[in-house]
Amino acid sequence: MSGDEQGSLLKASSAPTWTVMITLYLAMMSVGMGQTVVFAVLPMLGRELGLDQLVFSLPFSGFTFEPREVAITSLSTLTAFTFFVAAPRWGRLSDLWGRKPLIILGLCGYTIGTLVFNGVAYLGLTGALAGGVLYLFLILSRAFHAALMSATHPASSAYMVDVTSVNERTRGMGKMQAFNQIGVMIGPALAWFVHISYLAPFFIQAAITFVVAMMVWRYLPALPRMPRTGVKAVKLSYFDPRYKLYIKLSFTVFCLVGMVQQTLGFYFQDLLQLDGVRSAQTFSMAMVVSSIAMLVAQLGVVQRYVGPPMTLLRFGLPFMGVGYVVLASSNTLPFLLLAMALIGFGMAVTGSSLTASATMAVESGEQGGLAGLLGSTAGLGFMLGPLLGGVLYQFSPAYPYWFAAALVLVIIIILFRHEPVPLSQGK
């Protein structure tokens, strides 16, 4: 059975039950929670561990380097790089091994990886590990965590493609994005538990993710797999003209998101003169506001829209650009929250249109590979974004957000001057 025949068979079968779909949605929700709980806690946790005080010396040269906040943002950079490397392979393997096993692997991997990271961080908080040794073990634990958990996103996206028709795909991917954004909203709310411990939010998230993994095992049916005899996983190129525009846009947009989210913890703490615990809680409130705006955009705009996805993309980007301008020029909490709402609304519209457009450009047997590429470019953006944001932040706290606003403006100009490659139909 070819990839196209398999896709036709799946879409011709009876529609999946609500139990099946809500299980898939919860998997994506837990992924969203895992992403943002880290952004809400890691900046303050890193400072508590003294990572911003690290000094690296080059032997026999007298040269020293103080990375400051970059030492903290680099942990997210490494996680994203690992995701970038691993996600395409997991996506291709999901075409052969099936979507369900990979979804479960990623969720359980997140749980195990979080426990390992928490163990290392606990040793740092108690003083058992410190300095460069602590930093090294934190890097290794984050890499292990990302290598496993990166399986869930491409496998879940490909599962949704398998069970929806072309006409239903934008709405189906939009619903997944909506639940992902609910997770994005809930994740930072866990930062309120930092008054117990900086690690408490991570332990809570690990437990939630494990419960969702058990739900996937119990309620999500396995889909027919491609025959393995004589069949190799389809390896797609990042530069395929069918979807390269969306690959570039995905990388750029998520680079900006990663740059902003990873520096906001510092920004709130320094701009509003807050201690670590209060800063984490205030940042979590801002992320909740942003995620509510994302949810409103998903339900009020994306789910009601029936036109070309490119129109949605052009509609969403200006909201992000204005949000970055407000963020860079604000010095009070109400305006900071307004900025986060604008960014969240724009990101929800942009993310859905990017994903839906790309999936229509390839064959059924290539969906897992494409999902892996999209996930990896998002990971690459989250790798370079925090690193760039950390560097810009050292010059001025507002620089990352002015840079983001300028880059969004460039993207808008390019999109209005450039027509994308026509999408394939009937995939």
φ/ψ of residue 57, rounded to 5:
-120, 140
Indicate left, alpha or beta for 308 from its phi (over 0: left) and psi (-120 to 50: alpha).
Answer: beta
Q: If pLDDT is split at 50, 70 and 90, which confidence band does 224 have?
A: low
pLDDT band at 204 (very low <50, low <70, confident <90, very high): very high
Q: What is the pLDDT of residues 260-313, one digit of tens each?
A: 877 887 888 888 888 877 877 787 788 788 878 888 887 888 778 877 777 888
Residue 419 has pLDDT above 70, yes or no: no
Domains of the chain: 3-417 (1.20.1250.20)
* 316-342: average pLDDT: 93
Instruction: Tally the residues of the chain.
Output: 427
pLDDT per residue as tens digits for the range 99-122: 899 999 999 999 999 999 999 999
- Give me the pLDDT at residue 367, please: 64
Mean pLDDT calculated for residue range 164-186: 69
Find out whether 360 and 425 touch, Cβ atoms under 8 Å.
yes
Q: What is the DSSP string of 191-259?
A: GGGGGT-TTHHHHHHHHHHHHHHHHHHHHSPPPPPPP-TT-------TT-TTTHHHHHHHHHHHHHHHH
User: Comparing 150-154, 177-181, 195-199, 330-334, which segment has the lowest mean pLDDT?
Assistant: 177-181
The pLDDT of residue 53 is above 50: yes
DSSP annotation of 13: S
Nearest to 163 by CA among 382, 376, 359: 359
Q: How far is CA 85 from the centre of its chain?
A: 15
Residue 426 pLDDT exceeds 50: no
**Separation of alpha carbons 342 and 323, rounded Å:** 5
> Rounded to 5 degrees, what angle do the CA atoms 387, 357, 81 make?
25
Distance separating the N- and C-terminal Cα atoms of the chain? 16
Q: Residue 425 in 3-state DSSP?
A: coil
Query: pLDDT value at position 399?
Result: 93
Asked if residue 424 lies in contact with residue 242, where contact means CB atoms within 8 angstroms, the answer is: yes
- What's the pLDDT tens digit per position in 6-45? 444 444 345 667 788 888 889 988 987 887 787 778 888 8
The Cα–Cα gap between 181 and 189 comes to: 13
More confident residue, 286 or 177: 286
* Distances 6 to 160, 185, 364 between C-alpha atoms, Å: 14, 36, 7
Q: How many helices (H) and strands (E) does the chain have?
A: 14, 2
The average confidence (pLDDT) of the chain is: 80
CB-side neighbour CA atoms (13 Å) of 416: 10
